[in-house]
Structures are given as C-alpha cells and as structure tokens.
Amino acid sequence: MLYKFKKKSPKIAENTFIAPGSHIIGDVEIAEHSSIWYNTVLRGDIKKIKIGKYSNIQENSTVHVENNLGVEIGDYVTIGHNAVIHACKIGNNSLIGMNATILSGAEIGKGSIVGAGAVVPENTVIPPASLVLGIPAKVVRSITKEKIIELKQHALQYVDLAAEQETIEKIK
C-alpha cells in the first residue's frame, strides 16, 4: 500500500515490485527494477527515503528516518529479511544480512557486507569493500572484487524473482 503523508506521496519507478502487505509512506523514492518484499515498511514521514535501482528490501524489514537524517540506499543493494535500516546510508553493491540493524548516521561503504544479526552503531562509517560482523559491528576483513561482483549478481536475481511474483494468486 502506498500512503500520502503531509502532501508527500511515494514516487515509484516503473518495473518496480511492491509486494502485498508492504506499506510505503510519505517521501519515498524507489528507482527502476527494485523490489520491496512482503510486509516491509518504508516510512518517509519526516525525511526522504531514496532507494536506487536494482535493489531489494526483503520481508518484514523496516526503513525509517530521523528528524535531520533520511535514508539513502544505493544501486544493487540487497537488504535481508527483518533488517532495520534507520536514518543511514548504504553504498552500491552492498548486502545487509538478515536481522541486521543499521542505526542513525551510519554509512556503509560500497561493496560491503553487514552480516546477519549485526548491529552497526550510530554514526559508524564502514569503509568500502568491508565484511562487518557482530554486536557492535566491527570490520573483520576486506571483501574481494570477485565477491562484490557476486553481490551485484545476487541483487539482479531478485529482479527476476520479483517479475515471477507478478503471477502470484490469492487462493483463499
């Protein structure tokens, strides 16, 4: 469902999949070939949420802003199930693992992986091509160029999967 809030309506590019049960509120912009999966909430009620092309935000994730900070999610980004993305920036070709939390003011460098369940503290800057794990999240090593290519390919797989979702049929 798309919701207007304080005269701001979501701007959704063509070829974007929005799954049933998702709620997209206010100042939200989603670029082409991205996908928002079942029961995800994007709440751009105070500041803007901007999602790049070919990115996917998987089931039950929450994306929210803060009074002075919006959310910027780059191109070819995968955000795993149940993630919390709060008033932060995520660079291109990155993967945020299931149940990970990225807190206000954090910046995830392009080509990075934030592991499942990790919590990236407020105002933390993660360098590009980093593997980040733990609570609080810490950089444990660099990501290879080959792995960054795999991350992009993973995001592209979700474009195809999203297209297949258009055939979903409610049966009861």
Tens digits of pLDDT across the chain (172 residues):
999 999 999 999 989 999 999 999 999 999 999 999 999 999 999 999 999 999 999 999 999 999 999 999 999 999 999 999 999 999 999 999 999 999 999 999 999 999 999 999 999 999 999 999 999 999 999 999 999 999 999 999 999 999 998 888 888 8
Domain that includes residue 37, residue range: 2-165
Task: Show the CA angle centred on residue 145, arms to residues 72 and 34, nearest 5°.
Answer: 35
Q: Residue 62 falls within a domain, yes or no?
A: yes
**Spatial contact of 72 and 50, defined as CB atoms under 8 Å apart:** yes
Domain count, the chain: 1
CATH number of the domain residue 53 falls in: 2.160.10.10
pTM summary value: 0.95
* Cross-strand partners of 41: 23, 62
